[in-house]
């Protein structure tokens, strides 16, 4: 970054010059976080509050990943209002609600509601506009930027790495706007990219796709490993509805293909993809969910609604706004990971065509309750997701490259049915594996969307689980840590470790671990494997507001 270029703290109204040390062509810092998603922001908070100098990169103009650039309202467990997250994540949720109370014309009833859900969506207690999450995350990071501890490099991605033995010495970064390159050197590197991009660049051992039963011992794993079998990714979009107006987009180039496409999955998906009848994720039976953009009936419109007009004073919004991240725009005809770059670009463009085709189908052909077809008043809201094409800035990535870790979490550790068979316990006595090296908690069903290998949904019950420190430590590399969905989990357990509060906890734990390693001079591996060091680190985590154990809870 040249001295004349501003390091913008987002796009919501103010910019800050990067600290002087971040202006050099070759950066040196204490902790380099490559990737700027949900886990990255949490890692930066942990590392910066410990007093260390941090560089965080982000490929898009928006930090925040799932919460912002991917436009996915948080998926959370049912106890999130009381427990089951870090203190910093609870602060994020509190600030988000406070942001609405301070800046939006909410009704008095909503203003004083103890649980403010701006969108009133059914998927979460906190469905909201992605720009608000962006503002809140920037607000939380701003003191560290102002103090000169944190530099955020947007529109920047990793292009290479200098590795000596089991240590990363530097990472080469490319400015996506200018093409200029610079390097960052640090004692510790955190991979917080959405697809684990540092792993191949640093020659860190990793896995992809569906492991075999022999590799993991998981009852639901296939007999043969399927490294190219990845969960679908999704190009999300926001839309509102203005009855009596026509906002029909131009017919997408691939509309004819997607209009006629019938998924070929195991077990079968019975009808066309562009339909209001989909596969139920758990039963795999046909499931019809209605669509009514007036909001009078529950269905897809209210599922991920991010602004409910009834929550705001009259005139604040011309319409409800909903976020489309549905089964109908999941893309599974190819992968973005470990394929030639031109192939990844082609699949991303086809995924965008699918999402635009879904919108066009809703505008022109979707069946209405009155017997008509289409809702031409549906309006694409690219302004709310920061993009020119109307779709989210970045695809919602469900599955990353994953490190070969000191410890890998499998279905046998967290799956309800697998645990029951393994332990002989049931009911209130059934528990997920307790890890002596826990650095956090999470809970979500093992929820896998249809995959590029032809699998339909795999959605099975899991138990409230812990995050073992061993899953954050690569088997060989000494100064590279995962800070997102790239930790030591399997294709199956990725399905419950991939959601917002868990990714936050993973990232925050990785940032705290790197800080502890710098403070003590011990490696992350030594911190985990030496009981006194582990106890001291866990004590530090508790003081920082981490929760390491669950109360007595049963399966989801």
Domain definitions of the chain by residue range: 204-230+398-543, 233-384
- Range 212-217 average pLDDT: 98
pLDDT of amino acid 553: 59
User: 47 phi and psi, to 5 degrees?
Assistant: -70, -40
pLDDT of amino acid 5: 27
- Range 128-133 average pLDDT: 98
User: 309 phi and psi, to 5 degrees?
Assistant: -55, -30
pLDDT for 344-394, tens place per residue?
Answer: 999 999 999 999 999 999 999 999 999 999 999 999 999 999 999 999 999
CB neighbours of residue 296 within 10 Å: 10
pLDDT of amino acid 443: 98
3-state secondary structure 281-335: CCCCCEEECCCCCCCCCCCHHHHCEEECHHHECCCCCCCCEEEECCHHHEECCCC
Indicate whether this model's pTM tops 0.85: yes
pLDDT of amino acid 554: 53
Residues in the chain: 556
In whole angstroms, how far apart are CA 440 and each of 296, 407, 416, 508, 521?
A: 40, 15, 19, 10, 23
pLDDT of amino acid 108: 96
In the structure encoding, which two tokens stand for residue 356, read together? 């635009």
Which residues, other chains included, contact 307 with Cβ-Cβ below 8 Å and sequence gap of 6+?
118, 119, 128, 129, 240, 317, 320, 321
Q: With 70 as the cut, is the pLDDT of residue 2 above it?
A: no
Q: With 70 as the cut, is the pLDDT of residue 556 above it?
A: no
């Amino acid at each position: 970054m040249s001295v004349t270029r501003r390091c913008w703290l987002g796009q919501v109204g103010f910019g800050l010059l990067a600290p002087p040390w971040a202006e050099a062509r070759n950066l040196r810092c204490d902790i380099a976080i490559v990737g700027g998603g949900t886990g990255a922001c949490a890692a930066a908070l942990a590392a910066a509050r410990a007093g260390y100098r941090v560089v965080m990169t982000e490929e898009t103009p928006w930090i925040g990943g799932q919460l912002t650039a991917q436009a996915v309202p948080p998926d959370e467990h049912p106890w999130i209002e009381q427990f089951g997250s870090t203190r910093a994540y609870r602060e994020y949720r509190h600030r988000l609600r406070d942001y609405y109370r301070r800046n939006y014309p909410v009704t008095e009833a909503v203003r004083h509601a103890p649980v403010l859900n701006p969108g009133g969506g059914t998927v979460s207690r906190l469905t909201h506009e992605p720009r608000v999450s962006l503002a809140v995350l920037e607000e939380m990071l701003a003191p560290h930027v102002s103090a000169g501890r944190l530099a955020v490099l947007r529109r920047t991605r990793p292009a290479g790495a200098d590795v000596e033995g089991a240590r990363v010495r530097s990472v080469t970064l490319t400015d996506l706007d200018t093409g200029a390159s610079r390097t960052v050197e640090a004692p510790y590197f955190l991979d917080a990219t959405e697809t684990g991009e540092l792993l191949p660049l640093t020659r860190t051992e990793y896995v992809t796709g569906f492991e075999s039963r022999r590799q993991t011992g998981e009852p639901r794993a296939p007999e043969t490993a399927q490294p190219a079998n990845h969960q679908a990714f999704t190009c999300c979009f926001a839309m509102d509805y203005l009855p009596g107006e026509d906002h029909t987009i131009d017919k997408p180039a691939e509309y004819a293909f997607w209009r006629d496409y019938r998924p070929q999955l195991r077990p079968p998906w019975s009808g066309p993809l562009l339909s209001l009848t989909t596969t139920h994720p758990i039963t795999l039976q046909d499931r019809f969910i209605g669509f009514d953009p007036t909001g009078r009936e529950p269905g897809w419109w209210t599922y991920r609604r991010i602004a409910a007009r009834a929550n705001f004073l009259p005139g604040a919004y011309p319409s409800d706004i909903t976020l489309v991240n549905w089964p109908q725009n999941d893309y599974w005809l190819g992968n973005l990971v470990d394929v030639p770059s031109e192939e990844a670009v082609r699949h991303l463009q086809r995924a965008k065509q699918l999402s635009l085709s879904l919108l066009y189908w809703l505008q022109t052909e979707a069946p209405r309750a009155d017997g008509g077809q289409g809702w031409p008043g549906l309006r694409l809201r690219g302004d709310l997701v920061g993009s020119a094409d109307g779709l989210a800035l970045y695809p919602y990535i469900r599955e990353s490259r994953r490190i070969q870790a000191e410890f890998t979490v499998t279905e046998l550790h967290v799956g309800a049915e697998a645990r029951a068979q393994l332990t002989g316990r049931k009911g209130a006595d059934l528990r997920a594996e307790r890890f002596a090296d826990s650095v956090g908690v999470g809970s979500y069903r093992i929820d896998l969307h249809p995959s590029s290998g032809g699998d339909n949904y795999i959605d099975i019950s899991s138990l409230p689980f812990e995050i073992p420190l061993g899953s954050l430590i690569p088997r060989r590399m000494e100064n590279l840590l995962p800070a997102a969905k790239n930790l030591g989990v399997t294709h199956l357990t990725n399905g419950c470790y991939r959601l917002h509060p868990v990714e936050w906890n993973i990232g925050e734990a990785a940032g705290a671990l790197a800080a502890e390693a710098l403070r003590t001079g011990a490696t992350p591996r030594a911190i985990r494997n030496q009981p006194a060091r582990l106890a001291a680190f866990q004590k530090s985590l508790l003081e920082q507001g981490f929760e390491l154990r669950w109360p007595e809870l049963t399966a989801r």
